[in-house]
Homo-oligomer: A and B are copies of this chain.
Amino acid sequence: MKVFRDPVHDIINFDKVQENYILDLIDSKEMQRLRRIRQLGLSSYTYPGAEHSRFAHSLGTAFLMKRVIERLQRVRGKQEKQWLQEIFDNQDLVLCSALLHDIGHGPFSHAIEDVMGVKHEVWTMQIINNPDTEVHELLETYKPGFAKEVADVIARVHPCEMVVKLLSSQLDVDRFDYLLRDSLMTGVGYGKFDLEWMINTLTIGQVDGVPEIGLNLDKGLSIAEDFVVARYYMYKHVYFHKTTRSAEIITRKILNRAKELIISKEMECPPYLDVLFLSKPEDKEKFLPSYLELDDNILWHWFHQWVNSNDKLLSNLCDKLLNRKLLKSRDISGINVVNLISHLKVLEKPPYGDFIAVDNPSTSSYKDPYISKRTRSETDDIEKDKEQREATEQIFLFDTSKKHFELARKSPIIFAIRDQTIEQQRLYYPVELQETVDTLLK
């Protein structure tokens, strides 16, 4: 047994013989790289403890997947066992997919996705399928054709539907791990749910002729509610926190400004950053080595350097970020759009106009847009996209007679928030504009 100690799961272990493929993958260059990428980007500016890496989350996800499979092996019922057989026959595939599901993440993930115009899911596919990566080589050595299988599971186009669903659904282990981990590390009182009970009540049933992972109705209704509400709070208080968003907005502004300067040749493109500033989406393959060098350290290094840039805007933005002189924010959810536009005209003038931003993050309380957007596939090819399995967007509860119920039908709490978006509308501005903002928005 190889044992990792972990603040969330205490002991994470993988068998040195039977799960050796997992241990090899963990040691790969591309997985080790995730040690240098924070799970929550700039959240530590709000919650000083939130410095945990995507590496720790990936380990936790693979370990939870192992625990879920162990639980499912104890599910009774001939029919149920048959439905689950696909999972048991593909345990290696499931575990590898869980470990590698976030392998394509870069530093400040959402910010760089916008600058590059390439989603991290696309890089995930690249890293797994490209013959030059250690991950790819390990998967293929383990079993020829295995890399593609893993990639297909993550992209939700693999023919084993149960395997795909186990990795991507409303009740997936990715979510279990990140809620608990982010909650512990930030120190907030939200995001916790009773993991042991959750695992204990997992089961399988049939919905419209299709097998689905779900929960026992009697024992699982409250934990399902608790889990959805935990996610709801984490978005509200952590992921969409105004201070964190402020730091993210500055980061975006830095990257956009740097790109302008580099494209207009006013600034040289630093090593490794070509993938960020000079690549086109179709050049992914060529830029993969460069992308694999990107991590939090590299970007922070350049933010330091750019404090000394001749470009005042870039320099100013980097100083703000490094020394946590963040933008102020104001809730504008009640402001009429026409008024807002006219206010912005006033604010977006020199010398502070470059520091203005309107921010409007949103997610669904219950249905998960990240899942429904189907963005994990490698291509935008419509035909291929059609083949992609849809992830299960709902949580199902099964009663003792194997009848199924969708969570919101049974839970007034979930029913109440099911169509609500968790959403913020804020105006960000530099402290120097405080008075102007106060006057405009009084």
Contact = CB atoms under 8 A, between A and B. Distances in A.
Oligomer: number of copies: 4
A27 interface: yes
Given A36-B300, A200-B13, A301-B298, A7 B187 contact: yes
A370 interface: no
B6 A49 contact: yes
Contact of A300 (B55, B188, B297): B297
B59 A53 contact: no
Interface string A270-303: 0110000000000000000000010111101100
Contact of A55 (B36, B48, B189, B322): B48
A367 to B, nearest CB: 16
Given A293-B304, A301-B301, A190 B226 contact: yes
A42 to B, nearest CB: 10
Contacts of A272: 304
A305 interface: yes
Nearest to A52: B51
A413 interface: yes
Contacts of A184: 7
Interface in A207-243: 222-223, 226, 229, 233, 236-237
A256 to B, nearest CB: 21
Interface residues of A, number: 69
A18 to B, nearest CB: 10
A432 to B, nearest CB: 17
A298 B304 contact: yes
B324 A32 contact: yes
A295 B296 CA distance: 12
A371 interface: no
B189 A7 contact: no
Nearest to A134: B323
Given A29-B323, A229-B413, A189 B185 contact: no
A32 B186 contact: no
A56 interface: yes
Contact of A32 (B1, B29, B223, B322): B322
Nearest to A10: B196
Interface stretch (A95-103, A155-163, A310-318, A415-423): A415-423
A44 B48 contact: no
A6 B48 contact: yes
A352 interface: no
A4 to B, nearest CB: 6
A308 B64 CA distance: 38
Given A13-B200, A189-B197, A305-B271, A44 B49 contact: no
Nearest to A44: B35
A38 B229 CA distance: 33
Contact of A193 (B49, B53, B189, B295): B189
Contacts of A4: 47-48, 187
Q: Max chain B CB contacts within 10 Å: which of A48, A56, A297, A305? A: A48
Contacts of A13: 200
Interface in A144-161: none
A341 interface: no
A297 B187 CA distance: 25
A3 interface: yes
A36 to B, nearest CB: 7
Nearest to A298: B301
A260 interface: no
A406 interface: no
21 contacts: A4-B47, A5-B47, A6-B48, A6-B49, A11-B200, A35-B324, A48-B56, A49-B56, A51-B51, A189-B197, A192-B192, A222-B233, A229-B413, A272-B304, A297-B301, A298-B301, A298-B304, A412-B416, A412-B420, A413-B416, A415-B416
